[in-house]
Amino acid sequence: MQPENTNLQAPWLDKEAENAETIGGDNASPDFKQVVEEGLQRRDLIKGLFTGAAIAASGAIAAPTAQAAASTGLTFKPIKLSKGNDYIDVPEGYDAGLVIAWGNPVTQNAPEFDPTRQNGVNGSQQFGYNCDMITYHSLPAWNSTNSRRGLLCVNHEYTDPVAMFPSYTTPTKDQVDAELAAHGVSIVEVEEFFGVWQYNANSRFNRRLTGETEMLITGPAAGDELMATSVDRTGTRVRGTLNNCAGGQTPWGTMLTAEENFNQYFGNRATMPTGVNRDNMTRLGTVGGATARRWESFYDRFDQTKEPNEANRFGWIVEIDPYDPNSIPKKRTALGRCKHECATTTIAKNGQVVVYSGDDERFDYLYKFVTAGTFNPDNRAANMDLLDRGVLYVAKFNSDGTGQWLPAVHNQGPLTMANGWRNQADVLIRLRQAGDALGATKMDRPEDVEVNPVTGLVYLACTNNTLRGVGASPGVDAANPRANNRSGHIIEIKESGNDHTRDTFNWGIFMLCGDPDDKAQGTYFAGAPREKVSPIGAPDNVAFDNQGNLWIGTDGMESALGWHDAIYACVTEGPDRGTLLPFMSMPIGAETCGPTFTPDNETFFMAVQHPGEGGTYAQPTSRWPYGSGTIPRPGVVFVKKSWGRGTVGS
Ligand code: FEO
Ligand code: CA
Ligand code: CA
Ligand code: CA
């Protein structure tokens, strides 16, 4: 249900600029001020971009935390941001509880966690390390909306061996195997009893997918010469998935998980054959010599000199059907290869499915994929290979608030044989270079993307880019308006005609994150005044509730602003647009990941990633979640209203 005050249109689409004279504050950097002023001037031309209030507007007295306005639809009392607390804080009237943590048994008959007995066999039966994305899939069926029982799909981004193992210098084979097993995905059945979520260790759905699980390569790049290795000359089968960051859930009930910083696992680029493949690996940042992890010491596939194509089989979106424990995951190459942060789906008006994905690197791009076929709500099987055919686009943000989706399609624009592009597989495998050739806009680390379920507007979190405008790096532009962008920003996009299949759009800055009292950096909260917002830095994972409030999780707020990472709820429409309320803070060293709601919005799940980051096994800096005498263990948490019932946030 809509909050009473919500109108259904983003203010920047129909309101004129106001208060332009206070843009950026007195101390805003010249670059920042100029770019934003240009943005506001052009707004007159396109009839409204930002809402009324100015960037870093005026000198309202800072309140310690924002206060919920009764009219926002958000009724919780915001928490105070944390410094030094080694626990999770949630608002009064809410409870948080642990669902599952690193090492807990997942598959039937899995051993209990013993940090002194870590190896590939044990690890591949237990919950992995550094949980990131969460999707909730109702049981009993993909199209049910049960909010009390379902499958949690959780991915495991990376391992931190000095925190995991009692001793770690040069890794042993058991340690490497334990790390491979601690990557990937866990699927566990979960159920709520009287307001408390628990996982069922005996469910037949429970499953571990690791860095060693066999997966299929599908779509245009399957079988290409750059995908073939000595072990798989067909270029269609690959072992495992690595560095899964955010992801998404399809309308047909599968999980999409995005391979992000896969480059770090592949060493010895400097001695691999020169040419197109090596140049592309350089663009993606695989390791020139020995990797820090040294997996190549035990497995040739991580040595690019021995297996120059193995790294081409990573950096994809992987689709997994959690309802079928025997299903084989598929790397969907039609969606391209980069450091995918996420894979967010929406159904366009005509039934085509659109998948948004950011490439999380300084000065890299935002992508979207539009399926050729349409979603069939009556026949699940008919949707299962929708992601193998369609058109992939990369975003260009123009300074006048318009934008284009440029097709990354072979033989279109510069992507021709004459320019060295062999075929569509080549375009997809070398997607970043295709984006370079197309002239896409170099962004400040595109992380998660979400579509507002009420308005259809698309939100992109750009987490930060401290190299913007520094030295020879690209300077500021309209969509990335801050030099040395420590705190990041959020962009709001409206597809032309609110049709997600179109190749043009309009956009505006929704939020320039930071401390609203920091006039030097300058902040902007979609027009909300100081007393309705809070410091926020490094937005990363985002989610929408059913009412169209944007939930924002941070990764790196401590280095940006000194506060622990936190989750916020933000109003996107109506008179309280921009109101930003802290909802949840993390224990020491942890990042917020995977925010997601059950269909009824009465439960909020999130992943606590890398608690105690920077510490070691012998000298942990956090004891979350098990307390005194234990090592920190990444885990999944649920949040509900006390006594278990009621919509989270309102
Ligand atoms: Fe794994 Fe872009 O965060
Ligand atoms: Ca992330
Ligand atoms: Ca998300
Ligand atoms: Ca991040």
To 5 degrees, how large is the angle CA 127–CA 556–CA 52?
Answer: 125
Burial of residue 85 (CB within 10 Å: 0-12, 13-18, 19+) is: middle
Whether residue 386 has pLDDT greater than 50: yes
pLDDT tens digit sequence for 563-572:
999 999 999 9
224 lines ligand 1 (CB under 6 A): no
Q: Is the pLDDT of residue 1 over 80?
A: no
- Closest atom, ligand 1, to C-alpha of 261: 1
pLDDT tens digit string along 450-491?
999 999 999 999 999 999 999 999 999 999 999 999 999 999
Q: Identify any residues that bridge with 449 across adjacent strands, giving them in sequence order.
A: 460
Report how far ligand 1's centroid is from the alpha carbon of 16 (Å).
36
In this predicted structure, the answer to whether residue 40 has a pLDDT above a threshold of 70 is: no
Atom of ligand 1 nearest to the CA of 132: 1
Tell me the DSSP string of 398-421: -TTSEEEEEE--TTSTT-STTTT-
pLDDT beyond 60 at 115: yes
With residue 181 as reference, give the H or E element that holds it: helix 173-182
Cα distance between residue 369 and residue 466, in whole Å: 29
pLDDT one-digit tens code per residue, 289-333: 999 999 999 999 999 999 999 999 999 999 999 999 999 999 999
CB of 599 within 8 A of CB of 611?
A: no
211 close to 559: Cβ distance less than 8 angstroms:
no
Is the beta carbon of 189 within 6 A of some atom in ligand 1? no
How many residues does this entry show for the chain? 650
Q: Phi then psi for 638, rounded to 5 degrees?
A: -105, 150
Ligand 1 atom nearest the C-alpha of 341 is: 2
Instruction: Give the tens place of pLDDT for each residue, 586-597.
Output: 999 999 999 999
C-beta of 591 in contact with ligand 1 (< 6 A):
no
- pLDDT confidence tier of residue 73, bands split at 50, 70 and 90: confident
Q: pLDDT value at position 138?
A: 98
Residues 6+ apart with CB under 8 A from 597: 136, 543, 545, 546, 603, 604, 605, 648
- The answer on pLDDT for 38 being more than 90 is no
Give the residue-averaged pLDDT of 613-632: 98
Measured in Å, residue 541 CA sits from the centre of ligand 3 at 5
CA of 633 to the centre of ligand 1 (A): 19
pLDDT at position 123 over 50: yes
DSSP label of 602: S
* Closest ligand 1 atom number to CA of residue 358: 2
pLDDT tens digits, one per residue of 248-268: 999 999 999 999 999 999 999
Q: Is residue 179 lining ligand 1, measured as CB closer than 6 Å?
A: no
Give the residue-averaged pLDDT of 98-108: 98
User: Which residue is associated with the tokens 């647009």?
Assistant: 577
Query: CA 130 to CA 74: how far, in whole Å?
Result: 30
543: enclosing H helix or E strand: strand 539-544
User: Longest Cα pair distance anywhere in the chain, in angstroms?
Assistant: 67
Which atom from ligand 1 is nearest to the alpha carbon of 447?
Answer: 2
Say which residue the tokens 């140049």 belong to: 279
* CA 629 – ligand 3 centroid, Å: 34
Task: Report the atom number in ligand 1 closest to the C-alpha of 260.
Answer: 1
Residue-wise pLDDT tens digits, 128-154: 999 999 999 999 999 999 999 999 999
- Say if ligand 1 is within 6 A of residue 260 CB: yes
Distance CA(90)–CA(97), nearest Å, equals: 11
The reported pLDDT for the residue numbered 570 is 98
Distance 158 CA to ligand 2 centre (A): 12
Predicted local distance difference test score (pLDDT) of residue 280: 98
| Ligand 1 contact, 338 CB (< 6 A) | no
Does residue 157 line the site of ligand 1, with CB under 6 A?
A: yes
Q: Nearest Cα to 586, choosing from 568, 569, 603, 602?
A: 568
Tens digits of residue pLDDT in 523-566: 999 999 999 999 999 999 999 999 999 999 999 999 999 999 99
Q: Which residues of 248-257 are buried (b: 16+ CB within 10 A; e: fewer)?
A: bbbbbbbbbb
* 245 Cβ below 6 A of ligand 1: yes
User: What span, in angstroms and rounded, lies between the C-alpha atoms of 301 and 56?
Assistant: 51
Quick check: CB of 360 below 6 Å from ligand 1?
yes
Q: Is 341 in the pocket of ligand 1 (CB under 6 A)?
A: yes
How confident is the model over 502-529, as a mean pLDDT? 96
**Phi, psi for residue 59 in degrees, rounded to 5:** -110, 50
| % of the chain with per-residue pLDDT over 70 | 89
Query: Residue 66's pLDDT is what?
Result: 55
H-state helical runs in 14-159: 30-46, 120-123
Distance from residue 295's CA to the centre of ligand 3 (Å)? 31
Identify the nearest ligand to the CA of 360 by its number.
1
Predicted confidence at residue 72, as pLDDT, reads 64
Q: What's the CA dihedral at 223, 208, 633, 641 to 10 degrees? A: 110
Find the 356 Cα to ligand 4 centroid distance in Å: 17
Residue 52's pLDDT is what?
26
User: Residue of the nearest CA to atom 1 in ligand 1?
Assistant: 245
Query: Residue 68 — pLDDT band, cuts 50, 70, 90?
Result: low
DSSP letter (8 states) at residue 104: -
Question: What's the chain's average pLDDT?
Answer: 91
pLDDT tens for 395-426 read 999 999 999 999 999 999 999 999 999 999 99
Question: Would you say residue 5 has pLDDT above 60?
Answer: no
Plot region of 326 (φ>0 → left; ψ -120 to 50 → alpha; else → beta):
alpha
Ligand closest to CA 539: 4
- Whether residue 55 is predicted with pLDDT greater than 70 in this model: the reply is no
Strands 317-320 and 443-444: what pairing? Answer: unpaired
Q: Is 281:311 a contact under the CB 8 Å cutoff?
A: yes
Out of 44-48, 141-145, 208-212, 388-392, which region has the weakest mean confidence (pLDDT)? 44-48
Tell which atom from ligand 1 comes closest to the C-alpha of 445.
Answer: 2
Q: How far is the centre of ligand 2, averaged over its atoms, from the C-alpha of 37 (Å)?
A: 31
Q: Give the integer Cα–Cα distance in Å for 125 and 158.
A: 17
Instruction: Please work out whether the CB of residue 448 comes within 6 Å of at least one atom of ligand 1.
Output: no
Output the DSSP codes for 256-296.
EEEE-SGGGG-B-GGGSPPSHHHHHHHHHT--SS--SS-GG
Model-level pTM?
A: 0.91
Q: What is the pLDDT of residue 103?
A: 98
Which amino acid is present at 587?
A: P
Q: Is the CB of 447 under 6 A from ligand 1?
A: yes
